[in-house]
Structure 1
Amino acid sequence: MKLDGIRVLDLSRLLPGPYATQLLADSGAEVVKVEDTGAGDYARAMEPLTSRDVGAIFEMVNRGKRSVAIDLKDEDGRTAFYRLVEDADVVLEGFRPGVVDRLGIDYETLTEYNEDLIYCSLTGYGQNGPWADRAGHDLNYVSLAGLMDLTRDSTAEKPQVPGYQIGDMAGGLFAAFAIVGAVLSRELGNTDGEYIDVAMTDVVASFSQSVAYQSLTGDPAEPRPGETPLTGGVPWYDSYETADGKWITLGALEPKFWRAFCEAIDRDDLVDAHGSENPDVLAALAEELRALFRERTRDEWETVLGDVDAAFAGVYAPAETVDHPQFRARDLVVRPDDAPPRLGFPACGSAVPETTDETVPVHGEHSREYLAGAGYDDDEIETLLESGVIRRDAP
């Protein structure tokens, strides 16, 4: 995963697009944030702020990037951007459909300056369809994709808002995957440049592979909240409250895991209940497990079942998760000496960069540097700065 030599121009803001390009930056790509000359990326000022007085979300997904601030509504600004595109490999944007056309920075226009350009549009609903122009956030994307419906125990209960932005992060992840695939395809000589349309809602919907067949065919076993094996319909795949008011999860779908669990708690009498479709048997077993898990605390159950092949885990709050020995062993939590703590690259491997640039770019910090690299002389850059077409804030 060494993308050294690949330059990405990132026009996106907030979370989905910056997460996509952070994954690329962590893999060695040179990522240049192209921000407007006003506020720039809104996430810069979003609470909570870090010790560097910068939005924590911004710091998490913009490490090691460069920032160039250009007014793309100005003709001279667009010209400057076109010059940057000539030496770029990838452009990623997250505007609503039609905005890039009005700005004159759409794929067709940019290929006039770089025919091998890979251009990725990352939006909520994609570039076509009746919802393409519709405003939305993560909550709306997971709603349309079917995930929200399955976050409750029954259809009588309120759908639960996911604790993380699933659509935003899934969309960013898939955009990064698609971009890397397009770069590889180009380098193999299979394609030249290409256009990629990623809809966050599409990606979340594609995550439903385990229930998609029933939904697509109208099977009577169509997944409903609390009724299917993976949505709380069976007691051996569910969550349970413990004596200290915390929770654990049991995922003993396979008979071998269920048997190991029963043996560990000295309840061989429960073994044969696994796989039953009798509602009375399932109800009785669920009540038995609820009473059982209330007998010990979460951590006590970890002591009892942690080394048992039973597909068991505690439910941890995010603050507990980042301090968990499993994540420490994987080096997922990074605590630099001269920067706020962060979550690292979510993969280990022989070629994953061991060190990354922890700096976070000031708004427009690298405007002069990149315009000079694009052929502008000092006088031209000063003229653009004075006119407000570009912006450069000192670090």
Structure 2
Amino acid sequence: MVRPLEDVRILDLTSGPAGGIATMILADFGAEVLMIERPGIDPMMALPASRMWRRGKRSLPLDLSTTAGLATLDDLCAGADVLICNWRYAALERKRLDYASLHARHPHLILCHISGYGSQGPRADYPGYEHLVAASTGRMRLFSGLADRSGPGFSALQVGVHACAQSAATGILAALLEQGADGEGRLVETSMLQGMLPHELAGMIGAQFPEIFGDLIPAVPPAVIEPPIPSLFYHPAQTSDGRWVQFGNLLPHLFDNFLLVTELIDVLADPDYDQGQMMLPQEKQEAFRERMLLRIQERTAEEWMAACVADGGVVATAHQTTQQAIADPDIVANGHVIDRQDGGKQLGPVARLTRTPGDPGDEAAPDDCWADLWRNTPRSAPGRSNDGQLPLAGIRVLEIATIIAAPLAASYLADMGAEVIKVEPIGGDPFRGLLRGLGSAKVNAGKRSLSIDLKSETGRQIVLALIKDADVLIHNFRPGVPERLGIGYAQVEQINPDIVYMQANGYGPDGPGAQRPSTHPIPGAAMGGVLFQMGERVPEALLEIDDLRLWTRRLMHANEVNPDPNTSLVITTSTLLGLVARQRTGQGQQILVDMFGANAYANSDDFLTFPGKPNRAMPDAELLGLSATYRLYHCTGDEWVFLAMTNEKEYRLFVDVLTGAGMQAPALEVLQAGGQTATDVLETLFAGNDSAFWENLLASAGVGCVRANAITPREFWLTDPQSIALGLTAETEHPLWGTYLRHGRQVLFDGGGQRLGPPPVAGQHNAEVLLEQGFDEEQIASLIADGVLWSEAY
């Protein structure tokens, strides 16, 4: 079996899940990953998922505090292709392991540096815990109102870890692709902070155009955020057996199917019903909502799901825990779980590469030969430089996809230098019609747009001509649809056998859900993210209508937009796997990714079983956090901080800092014991000062404590010094709205990159693309007249 990363050598100096998952992905596809294990006990090894992210790797004990240890590491660097590390950059510089020093000694070596807050800026040396970063960026403000208290809510799902891991793998793969057989190494950087950026979809852009979006995005964010009332088409509901079902019928035809199945179709006859927006006037809307919720309470979850599945066109799923999701029929059928030697189960490979599949290895083992081999076979000096180009320069991507997940992935490829042409239907991607195009502006940045009738023979031939010259095709059709359009893999392979054909959909092609539609709330509910956010505490007794309304608001708010970006990141990684496989094997191939599998990866901390596995740590009933030393605390002035300490070293530092400031510190034994006693002591302590005081005192000294409700996400990305220092926004020009700051890159190469591109309006580049294909202006005008081409500008 061909493995696309065979003979790629990776030195892994990371600790924890972000680096661990990144290198697990690479090891699953053949890379030799040698983990450097320093003396002492790594507290991250206590995490249940550590046995999964260490699979297929080997470990080498090495004391990097000694001259001999550093010399051994340097010898290994000479024979390695990649060094990945999550040390703070100042520590790398002290050990001469920073990029400038490494590149001078080993110009072939790719250095991937991952961090909490980035390698520069005022927070660069803060501890890099996921939830500290979430609090700093305002993410925890988004979860207020989910418990019976005021203030921010603990953001349970580790979206930053997921994004950081995928981005690190993506960046390494992109650097390997650009390097080829004789290129020089380069610096690849990503961070937990950048991992929060995919989940900012509209507010940051809308806030910059108050004259256009002021009614959607208030100029002054509300001090208290209450869970909004769900849209009728995106609604959780309780069934007669007390379970909860999530509906996600985003488009009118899908909602019509829902109305048929639930026997509520008579609403279409109401002259006040807006079928395009799926809305009624406010008074009628709430009356219909009550009717709809009570209707769902008439049957069990199993009965409703059977009816939805039988219809085939209703977007719905029952809520599950992550442990229940491991046995989900679609997860199992599509290879997203694998059996292990200990009788347990783990996540399968991140994607299905049909010609060069992943093959996860056994549990990590001590190294018995790699280190010697690498030291004795150093890599050759590079024969060429990268000239500062982005690594995907020269790669052409054709995207035939809609809404968020696949389009956002294509935008990430554009950010790394690829040329991306978005093929849209007549009238444009339906996502353009939602939120007046705000979300569409985010997910389509950096592309050109061709709006064409793919169902016409002329349109199909134009698209096939583009496919013939493409390196990558990305689509998100359900199985069977591409074949009917003439762009199925077997058809495309005939004209372009080298193409990397990325097929991304909801459930995957092989399970019972293969032909069913899906939208972002479905994997959020089905893979356990929603119940995790709620601490797996949801009402089971049947609720009366007022409580039913409250809990539907809470569950929908807990099911935030993260499943789509979670999937985008996996599509990006998997596309790069395909490109590297093509470069190393000479083969194009079909690659299969789905939202269920991608969001299983986002739940990687609990997406495994083994004998004796402890239960997932759950947020407490007030959604403050996971323990006395890892949670939100209330301060003076109705402000909040998030405290993150997980080991004795951090407890001792906390005590020392407080004592040094002349304050009464909790006893070390109290912090070690945790529980209510520690909580009470810490609540009293933090109530004595405001959040700025605590962050300035503690975080600057290396203790994990940051303000948690000082800023909204959009304010953070636009104005915070840390965001500015890392260049996490970039100025661009929207063709209709004017100049604004768009989101920055998920991965930085050599510290920065060229200018980031704007989003197109639908069909903006019709003429440009067709002129490149050999059409003249008269032919293009004829295609417009015949309805084959369309643009917002016509």
Which of the residues 309, 331, 334 maps onto 2:727?
331
Work out the CA distance in 1 between the residues paired with 2:730 and 2:778. 42
Partner of 1:270: 667
Work out the CA distance in 2 between the residues paired with 1:134 and 1:293. 50
The answer to whether structure 1 residue 110 and structure 2 residue 489 are counterparts is no
TM-score, normalising length: structure 2 = 0.45
The answer to whether structure 1 residue 82 and structure 2 residue 472 are counterparts is no
Equivalence map 1:55-70=2 (5 Å) = 55-70=437-452
Which of the residues 25, 28, 31 maps onto 2:420?
31
SS in 2 for 1:10: strand
Work out the CA distance in 1 between the residues paired with 2:419 and 2:642. 41
Partner of 1:52: none
Q: 1:218 to 1:134 in 2, by over 3 A?
A: farther
Write out per-residue CA displacement over residues 261-292 of structure 1, whole angstroms, 9 at most, x where no aligned residue.
2233344443113443xxxx511211222232
SS in 1 for 2:703: coil
Partner of 1:127: 509
Which of the residues 703, 706, 710 maps onto 1:310?
703
The answer to whether structure 1 residue 45 and structure 2 residue 433 are counterparts is yes
Partner of 1:245: 638
Write out per-residue CA displacement over residues 21-49 of structure 1, whole angstroms, 9 at most, x where no aligned residue.
11111111111010111x211233332x5
SS in 1 for 2:462: helix
Partner of 1:204: 599
Structure 1 residue 336, shift from structure 2 partner: 4.6
Work out the CA distance in 2 between the residues paired with 1:363 and 1:269. 60
CA contact (8 A) 2:529 2:559 kept: no
Structure 1 residue 307, shift from structure 2 partner: 0.9
Partner of 2:396: 7
Equivalence map 1:89-100=2 (5 Å) = 89-100=471-482
Partner of 2:83: none
Which amino acid in the other structure matches residue 419 of structure 2?
Answer: E
Q: 1:4 to 1:305 in 2, by over 3 A?
A: same
Q: 1:220 to 1:73 in 2, by over 3 A?
A: same
CA contact (8 A) 1:225 1:231 kept: no
Work out the CA distance in 1 between the residues paired with 2:762 and 2:443. 15
Which of the residues 737, 752, 763 maps onto 1:364?
763
CA contact (8 A) 1:2 1:352 kept: no
The answer to whether structure 1 residue 321 and structure 2 residue 716 are counterparts is yes
Which of the residues 212, 235, 259 maps onto 2:652?
259
Answer with 340-349 or 115-124: which moved more: 340-349
Structure 1 spans left out of the alignment, 5+ residues: 50-54
Q: 1:125 to 1:293 in 2, by over 3 A?
A: farther
Structure 1 residue 349, shift from structure 2 partner: 2.9
Which of the residues 295, 307, 317 maps onto 2:688?
295
The answer to whether structure 1 residue 177 and structure 2 residue 573 are counterparts is yes
Partner of 1:16: 405
CA contact (8 A) 1:150 1:231 kept: no
Which amino acid in the other structure matches residue 396 of structure 2?
Answer: R
Write out per-residue CA displacement over residues 332-372 of structure 1, whole angstroms, 9 at most, x where no aligned residue.
022458621221113333174231233x3232122233233
Q: 1:193 to 1:135 in 2, by over 3 A?
A: same
SS in 1 for 2:494: coil
CA contact (8 A) 1:84 1:370 kept: no
Work out the CA distance in 2 between the residues paired with 1:32 and 1:186. 21
SS in 2 for 1:108: helix
Which of the residues 349, 366, 386 maps onto 2:749?
349
Structure 1 residue 192, shift from structure 2 partner: 1.4
What fraction of aligned residue pairs are identical, expressed as a percent?
28
Structure 1 residue 11, shift from structure 2 partner: 1.0
Write out per-residue CA displacement over residues 296-329 of structure 1, whole angstroms, 9 at most, x where no aligned residue.
2222221221212222222242134222211111
Which amino acid in the other structure matches residue 753 of structure 2?
Answer: P
SS in 2 for 1:244: helix
Partner of 2:788: 389
Partner of 2:773: 374
Work out the CA distance in 2 between the residues paired with 1:58 and 1:86. 27
CA contact (8 A) 2:453 2:789 kept: yes
Structure 1 residue 66, shift from structure 2 partner: 0.9
CA contact (8 A) 1:27 1:352 kept: no
Q: 1:301 to 1:268 in 2, by over 3 A?
A: closer
Work out the CA distance in 2 between the residues paired with 1:211 and 1:258. 26
Work out the CA distance in 2 between the residues paired with 1:283 and 1:306. 24
Q: How many residues align?
A: 378
CA contact (8 A) 2:535 2:619 kept: yes
Work out the CA distance in 2 between the residues paired with 1:142 and 1:109. 34
Partner of 2:361: none
Which amino acid in the other structure matches residue 217 of structure 1?
Answer: F
Work out the CA distance in 1 between the residues paired with 2:651 and 2:749. 33
Structure 1 residue 108, shift from structure 2 partner: 1.2
Structure 1 residue 162, shift from structure 2 partner: 4.5
Which amino acid in the other structure matches residue 374 of structure 1?
Answer: Q
Structure 2 spans left out of the alignment, 5+ residues: 1-389, 540-550
SS in 2 for 1:80: helix
SS in 2 for 1:120: strand
CA contact (8 A) 1:330 1:348 kept: no
Which amino acid in the other structure matches residue 367 of structure 1?
Answer: N
CA contact (8 A) 1:84 1:371 kept: no
Partner of 2:305: none
Which amino acid in the other structure matches residue 353 of structure 1?
Answer: G
Which amino acid in the other structure matches residue 202 of structure 1?
Answer: G
TM-score, normalising length: structure 1 = 0.87
Structure 1 residue 393, shift from structure 2 partner: 4.9
Structure 1 residue 164, shift from structure 2 partner: 5.1
SS in 1 for 2:642: strand
Q: 1:138 to 1:258 in 2, by over 3 A?
A: farther
Structure 1 residue 220, shift from structure 2 partner: 6.1
Q: 1:317 to 1:379 in 2, by over 3 A?
A: closer
